């Protein structure tokens, strides 16, 4: 029997509704983040200062430690606008110090060290804080001991503690690893182990809330071991507060390193950082205010930029603000 009915082609069949594409939630985060003008400005400046310090010496290849007594106390080129008698030179656009060292190259080199200390100390603090927070929040038997230890560290005066650490361990580490590497390790370790407490408390609170969620209870009911539970279900859901805490930790680390260098307990005198440049410029601040201005602006604007980025991330990662 022949079927005379019309058989449509597969290509002619139109579904009632086209399948919806699932949009990645990180695009929503980015859309919310870029709506925060301060965060975008902070991100642009942070990228700029990082590139300026990282690749600037490849273009401006002046040795930051070279002494040039003949060209000492050169003023920045903009001073010549209102002071025709000022000693200025286009070869030294930011001027030189009392020993003839180029200020621009020192700002670049100092930025490399200050940013490296900030990023490394921040990563160390985040790792310690996340570990303590997850262990305290997930394992009830560890909660009391870990939180009391966290409260103990929080109660300690951080700056005096760092000063004591610098005085006790500076010489042994310098003898073991060299003056630059030893001091770098000591400053990073000192800042990292005194800056993790806020991260631990934030992560602990989020983990304790996540433990009661349905997907965690379901995973636990089928016998998922604690290690897999933490790495597959807990940690991915606490990344948002960790990222916000990381930005604040970076700002804190930069300020702390600058404070230690300003007090003369940081890197050696021939190893510039922003705080060290500020310390060396204080004595002649009245006659040459720009020597304090440049490192001060670098520290202040970098910390401000990081704080704005943290505000933007906090808003972007909050589903209530994104309207979810």
Instruction: Say what angle helices 274-281 and 239-262 make with each other, to 10 degrees.
Output: 30
146 band by pLDDT with thresholds 50, 70 and 90? very high
pLDDT digits (tens, 9 = 90+) for 91-100: 888 888 888 8
The pLDDT score that the predictor gives to residue 23 is 62
Higher-scoring residue by pLDDT: 318, 207: 207
Which of the 8 DSSP states describes residue 234?
I
Instruction: Determine the Cα–Cα distance for residues 215 and 221; give it in Å rounded to an integer.
Output: 10
Higher-scoring residue by pLDDT: 305, 179: 305
The pLDDT score that the predictor gives to residue 290 is 84
Instruction: Determine the Cα–Cα distance for residues 120 and 318; give it in Å rounded to an integer.
Output: 27
The pLDDT score that the predictor gives to residue 168 is 87
Instruction: Determine the Cα–Cα distance for residues 126 and 120; give it in Å rounded to an integer.
Output: 10
The pLDDT score that the predictor gives to residue 131 is 94
CA distances in angstroms from 188 to 123, 133, 165, 194, 236, listed in the order given: 10, 21, 12, 10, 27
Task: Please report whether residue 150 resides in a domain.
Answer: yes
The pLDDT score that the predictor gives to residue 306 is 92
Instruction: Determine the Cα–Cα distance for residues 187 and 212; give it in Å rounded to an integer.
Output: 40
Asked if residues 198 and 126 have their Cβ atoms less than 8 Å apart, the reply is no
Task: Please report whether residue 106 resides in a domain.
Answer: yes
Domain that holds residue 222: 41-59+67-322
Task: Please report whether residue 3 resides in a domain.
Answer: no
pLDDT digits (tens, 9 = 90+) for 117-132: 999 999 999 999 999 9
Task: Please report whether residue 109 resides in a domain.
Answer: yes
Instruction: Determine the Cα–Cα distance for residues 213 and 219; give it in Å rounded to an integer.
Output: 10
**Residue 261 pLDDT greater than 60, yes or no:** yes
Please state the domain count of the chain. 1
224 band by pLDDT with thresholds 50, 70 and 90? confident
| CATH code where residue 131 lies | 1.10.3720.10
């Amino acid at each position: 029997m022949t079927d005379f009915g019309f058989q449509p082609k597969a290509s002619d069949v139109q579904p009632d509704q086209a399948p919806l594409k699932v949009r990645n939630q990180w695009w929503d985060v980015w859309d919310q983040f870029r709506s925060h003008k301060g965060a975008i400005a902070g991100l642009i400046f942070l990228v700029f200062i990082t590139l300026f310090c990282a690749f600037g010496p490849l273009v401006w290849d002046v040795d930051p430690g070279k002494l040039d007594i003949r060209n000492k106390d050169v003023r920045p080129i903009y001073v010549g606008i209102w002071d025709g008698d000022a000693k200025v030179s286009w070869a030294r656009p930011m001027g030189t110090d009392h020993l003839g060292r180029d200020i621009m190259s020192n700002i670049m080199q100092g930025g490399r060290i200050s940013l490296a200390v900030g990023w490394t100390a921040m990563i160390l603090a985040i790792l310690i804080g996340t570990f303590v927070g997850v262990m305290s929040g997930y394992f009830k038997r560890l909660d009391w001991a870990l939180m009391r230890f966290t409260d103990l560290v929080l109660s300690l005066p951080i700056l005096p503690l760092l000063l004591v650490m610098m005085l006790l361990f500076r010489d042994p580490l310098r003898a073991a690893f060299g003056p630059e590497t030893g001091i770098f390790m000591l400053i990073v370790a000192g800042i990292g182990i005194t800056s993790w407490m806020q991260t631990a408390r934030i992560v602990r609170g989020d983990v304790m809330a996540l433990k009661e969620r349905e997907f965690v209870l379901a995973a636990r009911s089928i016998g998922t071991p604690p290690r897999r539970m933490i790495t597959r279900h807990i940690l991915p859901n606490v990344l948002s507060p960790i990222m916000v805490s990381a930005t604040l930790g970076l700002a804190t680390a930069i300020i702390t390193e600058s404070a230690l260098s300003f007090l003369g307990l940081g890197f050696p005198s021939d190893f510039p950082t922003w705080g060290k440049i500020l310390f060396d410029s204080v004595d002649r601040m009245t006659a040459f205010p720009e020597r304090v201005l440049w490192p001060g602006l670098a520290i202040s604007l970098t910390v401000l930029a990081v704080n704005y980025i943290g505000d933007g991330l906090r808003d972007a990662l909050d589903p209530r603000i994104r309207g979810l």
